[in-house]
Every structure is written in C-alpha cells, then in structure tokens.
Homo-oligomer: A and B are copies of this chain.
Amino acid sequence: MRYAVLGTGVVGRTIAAKLATLGHDVLVGTRDPQATLARTEPDGYGNPPLATWLRDHPQVRLATFADAAADAETVVNATSGAGSLDVLTSAGAGNLAGKVLIDIANPLDFSAGMPPSLNPVNTDSLGEQIQRAFPGVKVVKTLNTMNASIMTAPAQVPGEHNVFVSGDDAEAKKAVTELLHSFGWPRESVIDLGDITTARGTEMVLPIWLRLWGALGHPEFNFHIAGARRTTA
C-alpha cells in the first residue's frame, strides 16, 4: 500500500517508520521539503533534524504535502491539530478525494498557556471539521488518545488496553482496524465508537491524558476499558 504521512514530528516519524518496516511505500509530506532538509538543529522537542532521521530510514522519502497525497492510497494526518485544516488544504482536496484519511491529530490550543485547552471542543471536533471540509475523504479518527511510542508498539504497555476508531465509513474503519492489527493491536482491543462525531469523545480525553502524564510522571500509559465485554447477563 502507498501511504502519505503528513507531518514530520514524532507522530509522523513513528507512523512512517512503522509503515516502512511493514513493507509499505511511504512518502512523508512537509510544506517545503528543501527547507525541512536544510534544518540542522533538533526541533523544539529535542528530536534530531529530519535529514538525520531520513538517513536512518532510507525507505522513507520526503515530498510536498500535495505530492505525497497525490501519490498515496491512504493518507495519515500527523500534523498538529491547529494546523491540520491548512495542511490538508495544501495537500489538495483533489489529491485526497475518495481516500482513507487516518486522523491522529488533536486540536490542542496553547494560546492561553499550559495546560492547553481544546479548540474545537464539546459540540464539534477536529475530526468532524476535517470530514466537513473534505466530504470526499473517508476520515477515520484513531490513535489520538496515547503517546506516539505506543501507537505502533502497543505491547510496550503491559496488559490489555484499547485504541478507538471513529468514522462514517464502515469499510474505511475496517481497513484501519486491519492496519492497527498490523501495528500490533489485537483486533479485540480496537473499539469502534461509531460515526465521526464520536471523535469529540476521544479528543476530549486529552485533558485527563495530560494530567495523568503529570500525575504519573511518564506518558507510557494507555486507556483500557475494563468490563467492556460484559461477563454477566
């Protein structure tokens, strides 16, 4: 399968590396590939410059958002939530049309300092905004409720835990569930919450996720729905 991963941060790199390891064709999309490659300093989170990362992942190629999306069968939105709609517009509605868009972004709003709030929130979600802005795309919201390190290596968190999918297209959710399975998620750990409006629910767990990170002192945890399979009638 040919994938475009939009975004060069930790989430984008984690997903792109895993997809390449699984034998998929992977283009990572960025606004200006030359500018991205010219950076020689670590990013604000201490990650090495992308040029260094690409040298370690020779199967992954860099392209503009539009070229990456045009070439792909499935597109992954791994950009920051505040920039996602702009990035997808750059990628081009025509290049996205008819494709599955795996939306991992959260609409964190840092404008009033820490902890961030969400925007949109409550009566709307980023997943819904993307679906409305690109009606020809099959948006599946998933993986946005956990640290990047867990997305493609769920076994690093001990015991059972869950990943959620939200979307309007049943076939697209089925395909994404299979992809999650290839990432290491047992099929029974994938919970289909319903249509894309259920993305409100998964985006709105970010506030407790951030506070749990603070309280526990590390982000290597994940949500498990205990009792999901009712054991008594």
Contact = CB atoms under 8 A, between A and B. Distances in A.
Contact of A200 (B201, B207, B215, B230): B207
A73 interface: no
A89 interface: no
A123 to B, nearest CB: 5
A230 B218 contact: yes
A225 B201 contact: no
A187 interface: no
A231 to B, nearest CB: 6
Interface string A6-26: 000000000000000000000
Interface string A189-233: 001111000101110110111111011111011111111111100
Given A121-B122, A224-B226, A226-B160, A208 B202 contact: yes
A214 B192 CA distance: 10
B194 A201 contact: no
Interface string A77-119: 0000000000000000000000000000000000010000110
A158 interface: yes
B211 A221 contact: no
Contacts of A58: none
Interface of A: 112, 117-118, 121-123, 156-161, 164, 191-194, 198, 200-202, 204-205, 207-212, 214-218, 220-231
Given A193-B215, A221-B227, A224-B226, 12 more contacts: A121-B121, A122-B122, A122-B207, A157-B227, A159-B226, A164-B208, A194-B211, A201-B212, A217-B230, A223-B225, A223-B226, A224-B224
8 contacts: A117-B122, A157-B226, A157-B227, A158-B227, A160-B226, A220-B227, A220-B230, A221-B228
